[in-house]
A and B are shown apart, each in its own frame.
Chain A
Amino acid sequence: MIATLLASACRLISGATVEWRCDPYADAQRIYFGNHSSHLDFIVIWSALPPRLRHHTRPVAGRDYWDQGGIRRFLASSVFRAVLIERSGGAATAADSARAAVERMALEMGERDSLIVFPEGTRSTNGEIGGFKSGLYHLACARPDAEVIPVHLENLNRILPKGESLPVPMLSRVTFGPRLPPIVDEPKDVFLARARAALLQLKASA
């Protein structure tokens, strides 16, 4: 109920045109990865999904932001069923904390769930797509059964840019690309470059 209302409100604000270049209704577990420029990004992807899949598609988000305040915590835990990860502290080193986060994500996917991740790690301010962190590679290795799907978001950086709290309701576009074909024993850098190229290609052809 709340999820449906929230999805409708989000579609209204983002005025999103949704284009699928893969089967939207496939039952496979998926790892959706998108370009990150706005706090609205994951909600826009989430609300663009068919309702049946929405229920099993969970965003990966920073605990520091989503675990404070009653409303945020409620939304993260009950509506989006977000996988909250530590961005800093806790683990001894950054590498340890990243490895723990990937293990959490792979585990939380379980038998049914899909994930939404933003491999740039932080929001871009100018609409360009930055370099990818390695989490996406490790997650894809940990869950080779999941389909890796690029999702390009256009104009979200203008609707709710970094540092603003009120949205300007411009029109946006969400493009779900075809599955990134899995290649066995692909080196990390090659995989990440290929994933980023897939997003850039969606951007160019949208």
Chain B
Amino acid sequence: MIPEDRVLAALAGGVLALLIVASIAGWILHRSVRSASARATVDNINARVRAWWVMSVIFVLAVSTGPAVSIVLFSLLSFLALREFVTLAPTKPADHRALFWSFFIVTPVQYYLIWAQWYGMFSILIPVYISILLAIRTALAGDTERFLERTATNQWGLMICVYFVSYVPALLMLRIPGYERQMPKLMFFLVLVVQLSDVLQYVWGKTLGRRPISSISPNKTWEGLVGGVTCATGIGAAIWWATPFSPLVAAAMALVVTVMGFAGGLIMSAIKRDRGVKDYGALIAGHGGVLDRIDSLCFAAPVFFHLTRYFYVP
């Protein structure tokens, strides 16, 4: 790696160390548990850790190879997430054309706009033009039964799975004075803090969790939230040197994205409850679907992007 990439290498090395520690801990747990229920939990934890290895390798490779690969990676994640979302949506045959456009035209165009660095169009394509266009297409199909529910669901699917997710590689478009051409590191910061917060909330929740926050998900407890958010915020502050932020600002940003991430997980759980499923899919062993893994990122990325843009881009 070239010298400027030493920071990225340090971040990747940190992730590698974490994965090794997690794998060893998982192996020790595997050897020590006896009861059937504890064994099931440990097996699930080990499946999750193995999936984390794969996901981390893919992410680190994509981030360090350049913007094109990062953009392609997140466009694929959007595609897979949208697929899981639409599968659960109450669509009718009249939505078919609009859905086809969402997958094969809207998603590629949204990511192309990042590649072309056309911020103005990137930020309004889906909320303005596509919302109008798809509603027109669905109306022309003529089926009015549950029309509002269907169009609203399809639009929200595009917002969450495509628009919000695309804000992660969109960070690459920002030009921060004194931090030129270093945006991959900021993308790494965001994804690392949000995903670590998920893991830490899970760990704190499993070990100390007593009081559930809402009836939506019994696994989300106050103990998990406070413990996870505090730890992830501390880690975010500790790696301020990878960002254009001061340690204090890095802590504040980490706090915001972890709280947003928690909210994202809660919202996506509410949708799952409404549709009567436990997971969005089964693509990632131990985790569920793609949407189960990136739900927190969906809601953290746009807020992180706009805060950074407002305060750091002249």
Contact = CB atoms under 8 A, between A and B. Distances in A.
A171 B281 contact: yes
B93 A169 contact: no
A170 B100 contact: no
Interface stretch (B81-89, B190-198, B293-301): B81-89
Given A125-B93, A164-B96, A169 B103 contact: yes
**Secondary structure type dominating chain A contacts:** loop
Given A17-B282, A166-B100, A171 B93 contact: no
Please classify how large the interface on chain B is, using the bins under 10, 10 to 19, 20 to 34, 35 or more: 10 to 19
Contacts, number: 30
A155 interface: yes
Nearest to A160: B96
B64 interface: no
Interface string B56-85: 000000000000000000000001000110
Among A17, A161, A164, A171, the one with the most B-chain Cβ atoms within 10 Å of its Cβ is: A171
A203 B86 CA distance: 20
Given A161-B93, A169-B79, A169-B103, 7 more contacts: A15-B83, A15-B87, A161-B96, A166-B100, A167-B100, A168-B96, A170-B86
A195 B136 CA distance: 43
Contact of A171 (B83, B91, B97, B100): B83
Given A166-B100, A168-B96, A158 B91 contact: yes
B99 interface: yes
Contacts of B93: 125, 158, 161, 163-164
A168 B282 contact: no
A155 B90 CA distance: 12
B87 to A, nearest CB: 4
Interface of A: 15, 17, 125, 155, 158, 161, 163-164, 166-171
Count chain A CB atoms within 10 A of each CB in B93, B103, B281 and give the residue with the most: B93
Interchain residue pairs A-B with the least CB separation, the first 10 = A171-B87, A170-B87, A168-B99, A161-B93, A166-B100, A168-B100, A164-B96, A169-B83, A170-B86, A168-B96
Interface of B: 79, 83-84, 86-87, 91, 93, 96-97, 99-100, 103, 281-282
Nearest to B283: A15
Contact of B83 (A125, A163, A164, A170): A170
11 contacts: A15-B87, A17-B282, A125-B93, A161-B96, A163-B93, A167-B100, A168-B103, A169-B79, A170-B83, A170-B87, A171-B83
A142 to B, nearest CB: 37
A167 B100 CA distance: 7
Contacts of B84: 171
Most chain A CB within a 10 A radius of its CB, from B86, B87, B91, B99:
B87
Nearest to B281: A171
Nearest to B86: A170
B254 to A, nearest CB: 34
A169 to B, nearest CB: 6
B271 to A, nearest CB: 16
B205 to A, nearest CB: 29
Q: Which of A155, A161, A168 has the most CB of B within 10 A?
A: A168
A99 B247 CA distance: 81
Contacts of B79: 169
Nearest to B104: A166
A170 B161 CA distance: 14
Contacts of A155: 87
A158 B95 CA distance: 10
Contacts of B91: 158
A171 B86 CA distance: 9
A125 B143 CA distance: 15
A164 B98 CA distance: 12
Interface core residue of A155, A158, A163 (most chain B CB under 10 Å): A158
